[in-house]
Amino acid sequence: MEKRTGLPSDDETFEQVAGNGLLHRRALLGKGAAAAGILGAGLGPSATGAAAEPLVEPPWGLQVGDDTPAYQTPSKFAKNVVRTLSNPKFEPRSSISRTPHHLLEGTRTPNGLHFTINHTGIPEIDPQQHRFLIHGLVKRPLIFTLDALLRYPMTSRAAFVECGGNSAPLFSPTPIQADVQALHGLASCAEWTGVSLSILLDECGIDPRAKWFIAEGADGPHLMRSISLAKGLDDAMIALYQNGEPLMPGNGFPMRLLLPGYEGNMNVKFLRRIKLVSGPAMSYWETQVYTEPMPKGKSYNFDFLNEVKSFITRPSPGLDLKQPGFYEISGIAYSGKGKISKVMVSADGGKSWGEAALQAPVPSKAFTRFRMPWRWDGRPVILQSRAWDDQGSYQPTRAEFVAARGQLDAEPSVLAFKNHHCNTITSWAVNSHGKVTHAYA
């Protein structure tokens, strides 16, 4: 029996830290059998009551299994764990796929489930023929092949990538009934490995007149964004690997620009050109698309950062509660400015809050998993999460967000991008039957 010194007593385990059954996060921090016992004590008698059926030897233990594929894919019983597609018939427009956050755990998005937005299809790029050019206000314009980059010193880091249009359904004046995948599925997180852009810029020799650079892709739209040179010299990376394997085609194979914390569209995929320039291009992508009209007055442009955000992934719409009793509330928090410092969770629509446990390590500009023990008593509740980062930013309430940024006059399509960069609190309502729906509170 593990020694229980240092773990909370049963009385402390019962400690409710906020309304409607939120328990102290200590209940999650114990180890092994002792922790299981504590959670059990918190629940009281078994929630199901009836005894389990006698155990039998199932058929898969009585025969030979399948052969081993060269590249393994998920169990057929997990075939629902897939992205949703905005353009399944491949009409002449952008194709968008969204990450199923409610069916995933931890902090790394599997490569097959990383969100993608491609505007003219996914290019099939021969890595041997791909060329990456750095030129403009440099002393020596240089061309890099993939083979050359593979010989450079590399770094690995976790980073989320989030579309500036993620969470856009929350600009609706009424809560659009959709799941977390539809509302927040345009954010994903991976471990990226590649070459620091600063090394390559240093080899090219930066002309002091350079203040910006443009980054351009090799695919049909030749997507181009203007980026401050300071960001390029800070933590920008030419990413070659995604969660340990070469980039997925939809995520920019064979190389992409990674700008940790910056708007997804600026992380130019299929990267083939960087040009140092004295001023921004004001390209289509930074004029027509990723700008924000405001309720009145001028519009925002150069909305570089994805600001601090969190949302609960379990429970969430589609993951209804079968019965009262113990649940772990689990969710994702991230900030384009730095590390998550705190996530608070409410089960009473924001009247009272308890601090969630943060899964260590907490990386900068990457997903952080938060967890909160909860004992649901079967009555209607409203679940919310709210995140803070170590740069002093915090996630706005819906009222605060609408006061600053406005909201639409009528409910839009869940697929529409009627504005960008929404990071308000998300609310899930749980009714007395355990059904979970999107709500405003």
User: Which residues within the stretch 165-194 sit at the binding site for another protein (CB under 8 A)?
Assistant: 171
Residues in the chain: 441
Cβ-based nearer residue to another protein, 47 or 294: 294
Cβ-based nearer residue to another protein, 228 or 397: 228
Told to check if 303 binds another protein by CB under 8 A, we report yes
Told to check if 33 binds another protein by CB under 8 A, we report no
| CB-based contact 425:397 (threshold 8 Å) | yes
Told to check if 405 binds another protein by CB under 8 A, we report yes
Told to check if 98 binds another protein by CB under 8 A, we report no
Q: How far is residue 2's CA from residue 35's CA, in Å, rounded to a whole number?
A: 10
Told to check if 313 binds another protein by CB under 8 A, we report no
Residues in the interface with another protein (CB under 8 A) total 83
Cβ-based nearer residue to another protein, 120 or 359: 120
| CB-based contact 247:241 (threshold 8 Å) | yes
- The pattern of x and - marking residues 230 through 259 that bind another protein according to CB under 8 A reads xx----------------------------
Q: Please give the residues from 354 up to 383 whose contact with another protein meets the rule CB under 8 A.
A: none
Told to check if 280 binds another protein by CB under 8 A, we report yes
Burial of 292 (0-12, 13-18, 19+ CB in 10 A): middle
Which residue among 34, 117, 199, 233 contacts another protein (CB under 8 A)?
Answer: 199
Q: Quickly tell me which residue has 């890099």 as its tokens.
A: 144
Q: Which stretch binds another protein (CB under 8 A): 43-51, 196-204, 392-400, 428-436?
A: 196-204
Q: Please give the residues from 212 up to 231 whose contact with another protein meets the rule CB under 8 A.
A: 212, 214, 216, 220-224, 228-231
Closest C-alpha among 285, 143, 281, 287 to residue 221: 285
Told to check if 394 binds another protein by CB under 8 A, we report no
Q: Please give the residues from 328 up to 347 whose contact with another protein meets the rule CB under 8 A.
A: none
Number of Cα atoms under 13 Å in the Cβ half of residue 236: 24
Q: How far is residue 102's CA from residue 137's CA, in Å, rounded to a whole number?
A: 46
Which residue among 267, 341, 407, 426 contacts another protein (CB under 8 A)?
Answer: 407
Cβ-based nearer residue to another protein, 159 or 223: 223
Nearest approach, Cβ of 162 to another protein (angstroms)? Answer: 15
- The pattern of x and - marking residues 124 through 163 that bind another protein according to CB under 8 A reads ---------xxx---xxxxxxx--xx-xxx----------
- Which pairs from 103-109 meet CB under 8 Å and 24+ separation? 104/313, 105/330, 105/369, 106/359, 106/369, 107/158, 107/189, 107/332, 107/359, 107/366, 107/367, 107/368, 107/369, 108/158, 108/189, 108/190, 108/191, 108/243, 108/367, 109/188, 109/189, 109/190, 109/367
Neighbours of 34 (CB within 10 A): 15
Q: Which stretch binds another protein (CB under 8 A): 2-10, 24-32, 83-91, 326-334?
A: 83-91
Told to check if 288 binds another protein by CB under 8 A, we report yes
Q: How far is residue 283's CA from residue 121's CA, in Å, rounded to a whole number?
A: 20
Cβ-based nearer residue to another protein, 31 or 209: 209
Q: Which stretch binds another protein (CB under 8 A): 85-93, 319-327, 377-385, 390-398?
A: 85-93
Cβ-based nearer residue to another protein, 93 or 351: 93
Closest C-alpha among 180, 156, 158 to residue 169: 180
388 token code pair: 């803070």
**Strands 271-277 and 212-217, sheet pairing:** antiparallel
